[in-house]
Amino acid sequence: MWLNFDAAKFSGMKAFQKFVDNLLLYRKSLPVAVPLDAFWISAVCNNSDDSLDYSDIHPWIQHALDSNAWALGILNHCGPRPLSIKGYPFPFTSVHLKILGLCHFSVDDSFVKDLSSYCPVLDDLELTSCAINVTMFSSTSLKSLAITSTDAARDFPKEFQHLVICMPT
């Protein structure tokens, strides 16, 4: 099973949230577990009052990873600040996750360290318009790392110019 949710198809973010919550609740109630290979979220909204924060999508991410998804992405996210996992257990813990795509997400040293430890088979990481606050990026499993930004002044602090990337594979 492959799920791709696009918030733009709904009347507002609350309707989108309710739909996803109900769909995942329904999946949990099935008598036989249905595999979930990939889970992609695209949450674009017209104003910041109607945006998602990480607390809204944390249960969705956990559901996807508990279902052994090998690909996960938060493709678009609107809101005044990047999504942050501060205060939550590291969400991307999976021995199945091979592809991770994040957009408008806060990436710091602890995130990078945890990613390497808790996602031992992660091959592909794409960070789009993320707030990158790291000076060292190290992974023993990554084969592809893509970092793109539409606003370098906002997303990349001065220290970013000294970023060290260590991927032995």
Residue 145 phi/psi, 5° resolution? -130, 120
Q: For 3-17, 58-72, 86-100, which range has the lowest pLDDT when averaged over its residues?
A: 3-17
In sign, the C-alpha dihedral spanning 32, 38, 42, 48 is positive
Domains, the chain, in order of start with CATH, read 2-166 (3.80.10)
**Can you state the angle between helices 54-66 and 13-29, rounded to 10 degrees?**
30
Identify whether the C-beta of residue 39 lies closer than 8 Å to the C-beta of residue 71: yes
User: pLDDT at position 105, please?
Assistant: 85
Please, which pLDDT band fits residue 153 given cuts at 50, 70 and 90?
A: low
Collapsing DSSP states into helix, strand and coil, what is residue 19? helix
User: pLDDT at position 31, please?
Assistant: 86
pLDDT in tens, 27-65: 888 888 788 899 888 776 555 556 677 778 888 888 999
User: pLDDT at position 99, please?
Assistant: 96
